[in-house]
Amino acid sequence: MDGEDDAPKSLMEEMYANGIEGVDDAPSSSTSTTILKNRPIISGEQLDIEAYAALYSGRTKIVRLIFLADHCDNSGMQLEALRMAYDELKKGENTQLFREVVQKIDGRLGPNYSMDATWCAMVDRKADQRKDKLESELNAYRTNLIKESIRMGYNDFGDFYYAHGALGDAFKSYVRTRDYCTTSKHIIQMCLSAILVSIEMGQFAHVTSYVSKAEQTPEALDPPTIAKLRCAAGLAHLEAKKYKLAARKFLEVGPELGNSYSEVIAPQDVATYGGLCALASFDRTELKNKVIDNINFRNFLELVPEVRELINDFYSSHYASCLEYLGNLKSNLMLDIHIHDHVETLYDQIRSKALIQYTHPFVSVDMRMMADAFKTSVAGLEKELESLITDNQIQARIDSHNKILYARHADQRNATFQRVLQTGNEFDWDVRAMLLRANLLKHEYNLRASRKI
């Protein structure tokens, strides 16, 4: 609220300006061209696969590319993604995924991108050799009982398994280092590795527990690590459909994250996930305080200007443009591995919130104007409003004849009288039944007692 630097001031001016104009204002006035540090990757246009893939590194890059290839309709994009996956895999040692990708390519990219059996065999052989070597080293360390070496031995094993795609074994190896950790740094290293493998495996329960373990270390953590842990926690909450908690975690991620967590998540993702979850779950004050006025988060939002625009539109009640942005973003969001199965729910929640917020300040609303504002038909709008009213999210009644929505404020006095009379009746019934039952019990008890005597 007191952020007095220029960027927020211009935003605030825009918001006030939009308030004077009509409800369904064109979005053009609100897209100010701020200087962008990076090109917008998640945007309304078709996904630029190279740029997208450049954000990530390691295994997640390959997994994301495969996911992209599986889920997009455009065969050009599909082949592009698979090609990049192939190249990336050749640099690594994961023959399992390699075979999968080759199968998906199915020879469509020419002879250079076909099954390279010799390479596979060579990699597998090297892997066996390395594994034997690691094992013998580890055994040696174990007999010598040098804690640090044992820890490093298990760590190497973990890295080895991870590189070869044996995620379960990798996780087990990382967890085994726990007994040999001596400093907090070791513990943090173990937690981060465990978190990484758990996210790749999709077991987010482990993620939450290891994040809390890492946060509990007595030593103060350095900012990038804190940011990484918050991202991981946010992802775990997102998977568990706890959007409010996920939003809070993502919003707390500091700008120190930079590109240091590219094996898991990119800063653009932090902005997108955080922004959408916040919009779907926060109320108006929280949205203003934690998102719009949040200086740290603003840096992230700069990376995804469409998300920033849509949040601002929502806050300033430009629902049509907000929903338009959402619609544009949808196709690209469906290609993201973490958020694709939450997109529908989040969108529904955002839309409901928009409808509720629209009707909140008015005593009566013309449904035709509202339908225009939301770019839908009156009949469709009526159905949506009906379900919201039945769920008790809007206190209003629909005049279907004139197509007007009237706010309805409960008459407290009448409601109190009704409740009083009802409580009286219930008390009457309960006490009478109770007395009757007590009598029966006493009777039965007396009968039993008299039989004994």
User: HSE on the CB side for 329, CA within 13 Å?
Assistant: 30
The structure tokens 């959007």 sit at: 243
Comparing CB distances to another protein, the nearer of 362 and 445 is 445
Comparing CB distances to another protein, the nearer of 15 and 389 is 389
Which helix H or strand E contains 365, and what residues bound it? strand 364-366
Q: Which of 172, 401, 409, 451 binds another protein (CB under 8 A)?
A: 401
Q: Is 119 in the site for another protein (CB under 8 A)?
A: no
Q: Is 363 in the site for another protein (CB under 8 A)?
A: no
Comparing CB distances to another protein, the nearer of 119 and 427 is 427
Comparing CB distances to another protein, the nearer of 91 and 413 is 413
Are residues 280 and 289 in contact, defined by beta-carbon separation less than 8 angstroms?
A: no
b/e for 231-254, b at 16 or more Cβ within 10 A? Answer: bbbbbbbbbeebbebbbbbbbbbe
The structure tokens 């211009």 sit at: 10
Q: Which of 57, 399, 409, 419 binds another protein (CB under 8 A)?
A: 399
Q: Which of 400, 412, 419, 451 binds another protein (CB under 8 A)?
A: 400
Which helix H or strand E contains 399, and what residues bound it? strand 396-399
Q: Is 406 in the site for another protein (CB under 8 A)?
A: yes
CB of 365 to another protein, least distance (A): 13
Which residues in 420-449 contact another protein (CB under 8 A)? Answer: 420-421, 424, 427-429, 431-446, 449
Pick from 318, 377, 323: nearest CA to 350: 323
Q: Is 417 in the site for another protein (CB under 8 A)?
A: yes
Are residues 170 and 162 in contact, defined by beta-carbon separation less than 8 angstroms?
A: yes
Which residues in 368-397 contact another protein (CB under 8 A)? Answer: 386, 389-390, 397
CB of 376 to another protein, least distance (A): 18
Stretch that binds another protein, among 91-99, 197-205, 258-266, 412-420 (CB under 8 A): 412-420
Read out DSSP for 150-190? HHHHHHHHHHHHHHTT-HHHHHHHHHHGGGG--SHHHHHHH
Are residues 215 and 229 in contact, defined by beta-carbon separation less than 8 angstroms?
A: yes
Comparing CB distances to another protein, the nearer of 119 and 445 is 445
Which residues of this protein are in contact with another protein, per CB under 8 A?
A: 386, 389-390, 397-402, 406, 411, 413-414, 417, 420-421, 424, 427-429, 431-446, 449
